[in-house]
């Protein structure tokens, strides 16, 4: 991307920066001396991240916000209005596992707010700014589950299917503007959720390895499935009928404990 501003005058906004892949990306971008607005739900985790990033170049702003709350979008707008934002990385998201009728309805509805509504609202906020400045990048997080329904994680899979479709349409809308749209679809990633589900960490990617795969692709117009497990799952299921993919994925998700996880 070519703009009139230098790298060190530009800012990158990262949601979900207090944990998981978002945190791993924040560390890598700070190591590149980028100016960062780092957003997460946990003030304590953001404080710990701030301490870890001490000594890196670039400026940083930390916002403890819950993206399930509509006023969080206004707070992000107010905190970034004076900045030359060149990139938005939307790593915030969470899910649940279990039979839908046995899950907390408020949690499922809040998941749609975080995984879908906030994604659209933030893209609607920053896309015009990126176009006006002559270029930039939007990075959205789908999931391997987003390519078909998944019993045992019905709402989560649906939200990630929405994000995947939204990213692909947005990419076409912004073609020729200088704004790229990267859709990241991670596979199984080691996390607190995975530990609670009893999954084998040897078969899963780590947040660090996924972040390492994402960083070189941040400004590319493409779909990315980082990690060996994601690539194998994506290629292995790609040619199967959608109904079969749902049947294959469902027992895996139903084996998980009914706990929240972050992406």
- Which residues are part of the catalytic machinery? 156, 160
Taking each helix axis from N to C end, the angle separating 242-254 and 228-238, rounded to the nearest 10 degrees, works out to 140
- The total of other beta-carbon atoms located within 10 Å of residue 54's CB is 9
Helical packing angle, 43-52 and 20-31, nearest 10°: 30
Compute the distance between CA of residue 203 and CA of residue 156 in angstroms, rounded to an integer: 21
Assigned token pair, 165: 């479709």
Give me the phi and psi of 247, to 5 degrees please: -65, -35
Q: Which two tokens stand for residue 50?
A: 């701030």
User: The dihedral of CA 218, 184, 222, 202: what is its sign?
Assistant: positive
Whose CA is closest to 261, among 102, 153, 142?
153
* 107 sits in which H/E element: helix 105-112
CB 204 within 8 A of CB 232: no
Bridge-based pairing of strands 94-95 and 85-90 is: unpaired
What does residue 64 show for φ and ψ, rounded to 5 degrees? -90, 100
């Amino acid at each position: 991307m070519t703009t009139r501003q230098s790298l060190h005058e530009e800012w990158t906004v990262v949601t979900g920066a207090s944990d998981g892949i978002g945190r791993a990306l924040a560390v890598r971008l700070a190591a590149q001396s980028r100016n960062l607005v780092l957003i997460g739900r946990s003030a304590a985790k953001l404080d710990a991240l701030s301490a870890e990033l001490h000594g890196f170049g670039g400026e940083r702003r930390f916002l403890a916000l819950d993206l399930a709350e509509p006023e969080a979008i206004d707070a992000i707008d107010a905190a970034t209005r004076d900045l030359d934002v060149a990139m938005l990385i939307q790593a915030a998201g969470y899910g649940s596992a279990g039979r839908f009728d046995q899950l907390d309805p408020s949690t499922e509805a809040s998941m749609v707010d975080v995984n879908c509504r906030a994604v659209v609202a933030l893209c609607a906020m920053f896309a015009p700014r990126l176009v006006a400045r002559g270029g930039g990048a939007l990075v959205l997080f789908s999931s391997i589950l987003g390519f078909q329904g998944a019993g045992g994680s019905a709402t989560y899979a649906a939200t990630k299917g929405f994000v995947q479709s939204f990213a692909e349409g947005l990419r076409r809308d912004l073609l020729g503007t200088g704004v790229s749209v990267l859709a990241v679809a991670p596979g199984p990633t080691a996390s607190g959720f995975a530990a609670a589900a009893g999954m084998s960490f040897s078969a899963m990617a780590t947040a660090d390895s996924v972040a390492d795969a994402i960083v070189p692709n941040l400004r590319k117009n493409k779909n990315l499935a980082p990690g060996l497990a994601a690539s194998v799952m994506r290629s292995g299921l790609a040619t199967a009928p959608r109904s079969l993919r749902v049947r294959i994925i469902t027992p895996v998700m139903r084996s998980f404990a009914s706990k929240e996880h972050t992406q």
